[in-house]
Amino acid sequence: MSSRLVRLVADVLELPVDQVDAQTGPATTAAWVSLRHLQIVAAVEDAYGVAITPREIRAIRSVADLRELLARRGVDE
Amino acid sequence: MTRAERMSQHLNRALHELFAADERAWLLGEDVVDPYGGAFKVTQGLSTAYPDRVLSTPLSENGITGVAGGLALCGDTVIVEIMFGDFVGLAFDQIINFLTKSVAMYGEPTPMRVVIRCPVGGGRGYGPTHSQSVQKHFIGIPHLALFELSPLHDAADVLAAALRRGEPSMLFEDKILYTQRRYVDNRVDERLAFELLGADRNWARVYDPGAAAAPTLVIAPGGVANRAIAAARKAWEQGRNVEVLVPARLYPFDVDGVLGLLDGADGVIVAEESTAGGTWGSEVATRLYAAAWPLLRRPIELVSSAATIIPSAPHLERAVLLSADTILERIMHRSTGESAASGAASHDRAAPPWETPGTVVAQAAEQGVAVSVPKLNNNDDSYVLLEWLVPAGATVEIGQVIAAVETSKAIEELAATHAGVLRQDLAAGADCVPGSTIGYILSAGAFPAAAPPAAEPSVVAQPALPGRPLPPSQRRIADVVAASHREIPVAFTAVRVDVTAALAYARRAADETGADVSLTEVVIAAVATLHEQFPALYAQLTGDGRVIDAAQPSVGLTVDVGTGLFLPVIRDAAKLDLGDLADTVVELRMKALRNRLREDDMAGMNFLVALNNTPGVIYAQPIIPPGVTCALSVPDVHREVVLDVGGEVRERMMADLGLAYDHRLVNGAQAGAYLAALGAALQL
């Protein structure tokens, strides 16, 4: 797991890095509410220089999904 | 020839040499030991080589400096690292009441070999409290010498010179320098050479050996040296000869080392990054006037950063901080024959341009093209200039977005209608009316750029009022809700709706498409389908008592993602399937998050869905925006245990949907029927 992506998500969720892993998502983490979801997307777009479509935003359910999305874009985490 | 060291490496090596040569040298500071090696890596390796004498300390600038004073009293050598010079104020008492006094107050001279290192300066986006240039606050303290790291001087020599004084010193280190390389072999570039002058080699002089014209002298501390050199290069391209003079020791100022260069010079400019007023530059000017008045052809001019805080945002930081272009403008401006008196009086940045615009502004109005605020909607008499997106003095292209203006509904961007240099006449945060001029685009080169206006000039100009102004984003909403309250006789009805089926429907849609759908979209879809059956609830009542029916349901949605409350609109919502609706909602919320909602995104609403679904909220009465007849509130859902028709106990998910309606157009019976139909439409 990319520590940079995990750090980024942990930053937005205001959680310690060790409480965030691939499975972390709205279903597992109370802090991951809809506003945080958008902020995570914005942070990923900014950090990796990618544009994420609304459909993709709705499909993201975990850090692993974010990682897959970046991989599809050919972005090196 | 090998490449010159970067300045952080160079200073690091100088410290290693000092520790190797002086067994009584200490280094104290926050996080200075390995592997961290200091916030800017200047002390790397030192604690490994000298673990007993390089100590990481608690976060106490006062304490660190006091301990340094104690060690110095015992005859030791101490280097203190203040992590950010902005915080050296916390050590001020130790400096003025202990370290410097100890040199002379015990009846015999007492050497105090302390160097307090202070990283200073901006340009790295560290914001108002980690970017300042605090040198000026330490000028004039007896027995305190000030030095500044320079790419033209050997740092080991500077440290040795500081310690040789037997008095406390401060070494200011511009953070921008750390990653830059130093100049060696008396060369700056192919054209420019440099030499060190004076018996103590305190002055570095950067000059063009082939130039014949009388030079303009730019005196700059080490942190500004590269900006001054860049300005000198550009001035040379425009036919001006400029020499840059950089002292290693700022204070006491070394007049003698530079006197010989003043004779024949075509003016002196002192460039420094601090804010104007009581500066090192003022000290330089005072000393030079006293010592060299007959040699000066013109008044000495000072350039510095704008008199405001240093913003974090890079484009704003660039607008505030002293730049090479600021120095260049002063060099070129004074060379066009501007009289000495007016040059000093009207353009000295010691007098901020927003306080004394002087003749410069009038000239600009004639030479430039006005930046005007267009009429953006039919609702507002005035807007707020939210932000300049290009710094004052920057060159802009046709079509380039230069400013953001906020209306009562949205933020609109203004693009440049001409190419040229931007001048800003109105400060961000100020009101502007449609058709007004907020700045000018000047023909490039016609005019020296003005510094950015103060963030809140009206606050500066007026007596302080109690309280604080309503933020612009909230003023926009305040206007909308106040108008609603004035104009709309509102009535309100709520119903408890079983949304178990609607939630299950949203889940099924999410599972089928792999993308989340929420109750919000299901409700919006239901609201859209009810338009045909209940046209009056989507109609608009005009001022003269006429009713205009909506051709299509265009559903507004409250969006608040921390950037203010917005009411963007999903147009023709009945034509969108659930997935498209969900996409649109996400798109609008992302736009709000990024401040990209535009007037167009807000236009055409004929029904509002107000989300009040903060956890625990079970009931809310929404405000009806003017021009709309109904607003439906969607609260958080809650669990209830109910008896079904067969007498079985069941757990259901419930929501109390509330309908606020304009009673001029809609009566209670219609509202009740509408809510009943909505409840039925949600039993999917």
B142, amino acid identity: P
Q: Do B561 and A54 touch (CB under 8 A)?
A: no
Indicate the residue of A41, A55, A59 with minimum beta-carbon distance to B590.
A41
Interface check for A61 against chain B (CB to CB < 8 A): the answer is: yes
**Residues in chain B closer than 8 A to A42 (CB atoms):** 590, 593-594
B268, amino acid identity: V
**β-pair type (B268-275, B301-305):** parallel
Q: Would you state the pLDDT for residue A77?
A: 72
Q: Do A58 and B583 touch (CB under 8 A)?
A: yes
Q: Would you state the pLDDT for residue B278?
A: 94
Quote the minimal CA–CA distance from B517 to chain A in Å. Answer: 8
Interface predicted TM-score (ipTM) of this complex, two decimals? 0.95
**Residues in chain B closer than 8 A to A61 (CB atoms):** 516
- Yes or no: say if B338 and B370 are a contact pair by the CB < 8 Å rule: no
**Residues in chain A closer than 8 A to B510 (CB atoms):** 58
Q: Which helix (H) or strand (E) holds B73?
A: helix B61-73
Interface check for A1 against chain B (CB to CB < 8 A): the answer is: no
**Residues in chain A closer than 8 A to B561 (CB atoms):** 35, 38-39
Q: Would you state the pLDDT for residue B427?
A: 80
In the A/B pair of chains, how many CB contacts fall below 8 A? 38
Domains in chain A, ordered, with CATH? 3-72 (1.10.1200.10)
- Three-state helix/strand/coil letters over B113-158: CEEEEEEECCCCCCCCCCCCCCHHHHCCCCCCEEEECCCCCCHHHH
A57 closest CA partner among A28, A30, A29, A26: A26
B516: closest chain A residue by CA: A58
Q: Do B582 and A58 touch (CB under 8 A)?
A: yes
- Yes or no: say if B483 and B626 are a contact pair by the CB < 8 Å rule: yes
Distances (CA, A) of B243 to B291, B323, B345: 20, 17, 24
Q: Would you state the pLDDT for residue B364?
A: 35
Q: Is B562 left (phi over 0), alpha (psi -120 to 50) or beta?
A: left
Distances (CA, A) of A76 to A11, A47, B472: 20, 11, 40
Q: Would you state the pLDDT for residue B356?
A: 28
**Residues in chain A closer than 8 A to B518 (CB atoms):** 34
For residue B200 the two structure tokens come to 């103590």
Q: How far apart are CA B267 and CA B295, in angstroms?
A: 10
Q: Would you state the pLDDT for residue B367?
A: 54
Interface check for A55 against chain B (CB to CB < 8 A): the answer is: yes
Domains in chain B, ordered, with CATH? 7-179 (3.40.50.970), 186-351 (3.40.50.920), 363-469 (2.40.50.100), 473-681 (3.30.559.10)
B388: exposed, middle or buried (Cβ count in 10 Å: 0-12, 13-18, 19+): buried
B513: closest chain A residue by CA: A59
Quote the minimal CA–CA distance from B503 to chain A in Å. Answer: 16
Q: Would you state the pLDDT for residue A1?
A: 47
What's the maximum distance between 2 C-alpha atoms anywhere in chain B? 109
Q: Do B514 and A57 touch (CB under 8 A)?
A: no
Q: Would you state the pLDDT for residue B399?
A: 87
Q: Do B561 and A42 touch (CB under 8 A)?
A: no
Indicate the residue of B515, B561, B594 with minimum beta-carbon distance to A58.
B515
Q: Do B587 and A54 touch (CB under 8 A)?
A: yes
A56: closest chain B residue by CA: B515
Q: Would you state the pLDDT for residue A26?
A: 94
For residue B115 the two structure tokens come to 């160097």
Q: What are phi and psi of B525, to 5 degrees?
A: -60, -40
Q: Would you state the pLDDT for residue B447?
A: 41
Quote the minimal CA–CA distance from B428 to chain A in Å. Answer: 25
- C-alpha torsion angle, residues B117, B60, B101, B73 (rounded to 10): -80
Indicate the residue of B516, B561, B594 with minimum beta-carbon distance to A58.
B516
Q: Do B586 and A54 touch (CB under 8 A)?
A: yes
| In B1-45, alpha helices (H) | 7-21
User: Average pLDDT of each block of 10 consecutive residues along chain B (684 residues)?
Assistant: 83 97 97 94 96 96 98 97 97 97 94 98 94 97 98 97 97 96 94 91 95 92 97 93 97 90 89 95 94 84 94 91 95 56 35 30 51 83 86 84 85 86 81 86 56 38 65 80 93 96 96 94 97 96 91 96 90 94 96 88 95 92 95 96 89 96 96 97 92
**Residues in chain B closer than 8 A to A41 (CB atoms):** 590
Indicate the residue of A39, A42, A55 with minimum beta-carbon distance to B583.
A55
Q: Which helix (H) or strand (E) holds B172?
A: strand B169-174
Whether this model's pTM surpasses 0.95: no
Q: Which helix (H) or strand (E) holds B474?
A: helix B472-487
Q: Would you state the pLDDT for residue B529?
A: 96
Interface check for A58 against chain B (CB to CB < 8 A): the answer is: yes
3-class DSSP state of B344: helix
Q: Do A42 and B579 touch (CB under 8 A)?
A: no
Q: Do A38 and B579 touch (CB under 8 A)?
A: no
Q: How far apart are CA B364 and CA B614, in angstroms?
A: 52
Indicate the residue of A42, A53, A61 with minimum beta-carbon distance to B594.
A42
Q: Which helix (H) or strand (E) holds B161?
A: helix B155-164
Angle in degrees, CA B393, B399, B403, rounded to 5: 55
What's the maximum distance between 2 C-alpha atoms anywhere in chain A? 30
Q: What's the pLDDT tens digit per position in A1-33? A: 457 999 999 999 999 999 999 999 999 999 999
Quote the minimal CA–CA distance from A57 to chain B in Å. Answer: 8
